[in-house]
């Protein structure tokens, strides 16, 4: 038997067919425990042009640092009012905004501690598979010892840090390729 190669398919822009019912720009409800934060930004390509058909998928732990997932067996409390998931489309100029809570620290490998972070998947036209990155919070003391951040060259870590502006909103952009400011993406 001979197997023939098939063509590649990109991950977008077909979201309207089956994914938009999962859109959720506010990951919280009134009873959700923890510090609410808003994160805004823009998805741009290597030329600085906005990407108007991207979608961000956000996964995170709750305020105590526990994921709402059966494989998270940490002895930390679950928040019944927080799933830790959201899906956020960008607007016509590549902008996004979502509201969530600042997650707690999470246990890492070999007894390490991961700083508060959000896991972000980026979907967009032209991507053969989605991109994986993280959002950390600038000024968070636990960032110093985060094992994943330690693997990122110091000059590139800023692409993973959301910076709080004067209004209290965190700013974080996704730069897909081509410049020194390109967002750090991880293999999985």
Average pLDDT over residues 30-39: 97
**Do the domain assignments include residue 1?**
no
**Do the domain assignments include residue 187?**
no
Phi, psi of 75 (to 5 degrees): -85, 55
- Show the domain range for 84: 13-173
How high is the pLDDT of residue 127? Answer: 79
Instruction: Provide DSSP, 69-97.
Output: STT---SS---TT---EEEEE--TTSEEE
How high is the pLDDT of residue 24? Answer: 85
pLDDT band with cut points at 50, 70 and 90 for residue 67: very high
56 contacts 87 by C-beta, under 8 angstroms: yes
**Do the domain assignments include residue 168?**
yes
- Taking 70 as the threshold, does the pLDDT of residue 35 lie above it? yes
**Do the domain assignments include residue 183?**
no
Average pLDDT over residues 55-84: 95
Distance CA 143, CA 136 (A): 8
**Do the domain assignments include residue 73?**
yes
Average pLDDT over residues 110-124: 94
- Taking 60 as the threshold, does the pLDDT of residue 1 lie above it? no
**Do the domain assignments include residue 45?**
yes
How high is the pLDDT of residue 178? Answer: 73
What percent of the chain has pLDDT above 70? 89
In terms of pLDDT, which residue wins out, 6 or 114?
114
Summarize pLDDT for 129-188 with one digit per residue, the tens.
Answer: 889 999 999 999 999 999 999 999 999 999 999 999 999 999 999 999 877 789 999 998
For position 69, which CATH number holds? Answer: 2.60.130.10
Contacts of 45 (CB under 8 A, 6+ apart): 51, 175, 176, 177, 178
pLDDT band with cut points at 50, 70 and 90 for residue 18: low
The reported pTM is 0.89
The domain tally of the chain equals: 1
**Do the domain assignments include residue 178?**
no
How high is the pLDDT of residue 46? Answer: 85
């Amino acid at each position: 038997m001979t197997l023939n190669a098939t063509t590649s398919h990109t991950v977008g822009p077909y979201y309207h067919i089956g994914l938009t019912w999962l859109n959720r720009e506010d990951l919280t409800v009134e009873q959700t425990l923890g510090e609410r934060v808003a994160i805004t930004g823009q998805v741009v390509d290597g030329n600085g042009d906005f990407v108007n058909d991207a979608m961000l998928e956000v996964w995170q732990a709750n305020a105590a640092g526990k994921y709402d997932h059966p494989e998270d067996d940490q002895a930390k409390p679950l928040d019944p009012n927080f799933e830790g998931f959201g899906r956020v489309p960008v607007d016509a100029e590549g902008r996004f905004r979502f509201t969530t809570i600042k997650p707690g620290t999470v246990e890492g490998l070999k007894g390490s501690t991961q700083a508060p972070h959000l896991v972000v998947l980026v979907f967009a036209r032209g991507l053969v598979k989605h991109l994986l990155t993280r959002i950390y919070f600038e000024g968070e003391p636990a960032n110093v010892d985060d094992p994943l951040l330690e693997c990122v060259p110091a000059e590139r870590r800023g692409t993973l840090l959301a910076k709080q502006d004067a209004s209290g909103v965190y700013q974080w952009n996704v730069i897909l390729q081509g410049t020194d400011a390109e967002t750090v993406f991880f293999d999985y």
